[in-house]
Structure 1
Amino acid sequence: MARGKKIYEGKAKTLYEGTEPGTLIQYFKDDATAFNAEKKDVIEGKGVLNNMLSEYFMVGLGSIGVPTHFIKRLNMREQLVRTCEIVPLEIIVRNYAAGTMSTRLGIEEGTQLPRPIIEYCLKDDKLGDPLVSEEHIAAFGWASQQDMEDILSLALRVNDFLSGIMYGVGIKLIDFKIEIGRVYEGDFQRLILADEISPDSCRLWDMETGQKLDKDVFRRDLGSLTDAYTEVARRLGVLPKNQQPVTKPTLIN
């Protein structure tokens, strides 16, 4: 796929100008990072799996009326997405205590929360994506009150969808992170789901065994990350049941 100039390169994806006005090409890399990029590796096939899984979730969300930046998957590693202005926040939805929540609050990992808890972090790698409150968000103008109401509504709809999909294949949705973009239509703006949804941005545990099927496998040296992601893809029907883990993919335009 022909690309324009590079617009942005993050830890797991690169964005290029699209060939159509108002579009970008989102390229999924094999790079894996953890602990604010203190731990790094290249995991063959990870980008291919994340591309396919993110397409699956974005299409599913679009089918129930959740607006997203996703237009179509172009090949094994690339998607065509709509250009948007990213709200400088990471929105974290937690159904069970895990990760930093368990560390901060002393709650045992795996404890079910009384209701989904939404947390916000400022998108700033240099600061380690610090946790911020709605007061910070309002005071510094990162999002308006109406934006926050819309973000909360979007986050809970995504949570309902993902929780149901995962439950149906024996996976517990512990938590996940999303990003939100602004698009402008004349004098009006609306918010859409952007970035990706994949095991890179979710915590996924097998409902019976508690086996981790997400990036914690890499963070905590629990085995093969591609095996874990392939298992998620198999259960969801994104890959055939007998599909071997994706390695050394050839379609990398």
Structure 2
Amino acid sequence: MEKRDELYAGKAKSVYRTDDPDRLILHFRDDTSAFDGKKKEALARKGMVNNKFNAFIMGKLQAAGIPTHFDGLLSDTECVVKKLDMIPVECVVRNLAAGGLVRRLGVEEGMTLTPPTFELFLKNDEKGDPMINESLAETFGWATPEQLARMKELTFKVNEVLKQLFLDGGMLLVDYKLEFGVFKGEIVLGDEFSPDGCRLWDEMTREKLDKDRFRQGLGGVIEAYEEVGRRIGIAFD
């Protein structure tokens, strides 16, 4: 597969066209950012760790019958994915209270949420990814009711698979965000799944093992990501 011009450069990944109009190459960079890009830093090994982490998780989800855009690894920092027409709506599931939910509602961090919550956010960095609902998504043409229903169904199916996977490694899947797109008429999971886009705590100590270590200046960010990976069976070397 021939790698061609850069299509898009995000905060942590670059996307390249290929000689196949239905395939793209994702390059995971070492860049890390938080607070809508206000805090930035390059962390050695991060691109490699997230690329391999994402490949492992996408494989687990595909094995569980969840359609994803992931096709395969190309190198330590690159993978091939299907080219999706992305839906600009992020789906967030929360199993425990943390982050924005705690700030908005004043609930106690770590509170178990039964049932887990499901929220939608508009993917728009300039506006701070505002929270939206199904009605707004339909009215403004961001997604159809059928697409939203399928996205919600798949988001909770991901929860079933990954909650148990991380629990088997002694960790709690606190919350996560997913992005979806359309490929040949089908809703497909896109973007990535890594500790950059979810919260993971040690089951016993509640130590944070995710991007909150960067947000809160706790240090040991990549070491924590690698520890999460080792616990679920990912080899980084």
User: Which category of TM-score, normalised to the shorter sequence, fits these structures?
Assistant: over 0.9
- SS at the partner of 1:4? strand
Task: Tell me which amino acid in the other structure corresponds to 1:20.
Answer: D
* Aligned residue in 2 for 1:149: 149
Query: C-alpha displacement at 1:31, in angstroms?
Result: 0.6
* Aligned residue in 2 for 1:226: 222
**Contact 1:88 1:123 (C-alpha < 8 Å) held by counterparts:** yes
Task: Tell me which amino acid in the other structure corresponds to 1:215.
Answer: K
Matches within 5 A, 1:143-222: 143-184=143-184, 189-222=185-218
**Contact 1:180 1:194 (C-alpha < 8 Å) held by counterparts:** yes
Distance 2:81 2:63 in 1: 16
Task: Tell me which amino acid in the other structure corresponds to 1:130.
Answer: P
Q: Where does structure 1 lack aligned partners over 5 or more consecutive residues?
A: 244-253
Aligned length in residues: 237
Matches within 5 A, 1:75-154: 75-154=75-154
- SS at the partner of 1:5? strand
Sequence identity, in percent?
41
Whether 1:35 and 2:31 are equivalent positions in the alignment is no
* Aligned residue in 2 for 1:248: none
Distance 2:146 2:81 in 1: 25
* Aligned residue in 1 for 2:49: 49
Query: C-alpha displacement at 1:2, in angstroms?
Result: 4.5
**Contact 1:48 1:77 (C-alpha < 8 Å) held by counterparts:** yes
Greater shift in the superposed pair: 14-23 or 153-162 = 14-23
Greater shift in the superposed pair: 51-60 or 15-24 = 15-24
TM-score w.r.t. length of structure 2: 0.97
Task: Tell me which amino acid in the other structure corresponds to 1:198.
Answer: S
Q: Where does structure 2 lack aligned partners over 5 or more consecutive residues?
A: none
Task: Tell me which amino acid in the other structure corresponds to 2:179.
Answer: E
Query: C-alpha displacement at 1:177, in angstroms?
Result: 0.6
- SS at the partner of 1:213? coil
* Aligned residue in 2 for 1:21: 21
Distance 1:55 1:11 in 2: 19
Distance 2:29 2:109 in 1: 30
**Contact 1:18 1:80 (C-alpha < 8 Å) held by counterparts:** no
Give the RMSD, CA atoms, in angstroms: 1.1
Shift >3 Å, 4+ stretches: none
**Contact 1:51 1:79 (C-alpha < 8 Å) held by counterparts:** yes
Distance 1:234 1:35 in 2: 28
Query: C-alpha displacement at 1:19, in angstroms?
Result: 3.3
Distance 1:177 1:19 in 2: 31
Deviations, residues 112-170 of structure 1 (Å, cap 9, x unaligned): 01111111111111101111111111111111111111011000001111101001000
Distance 2:21 2:35 in 1: 36
- SS at the partner of 2:44? coil
Query: C-alpha displacement at 1:192, in angstroms?
Result: 0.3
- SS at the partner of 2:4? coil
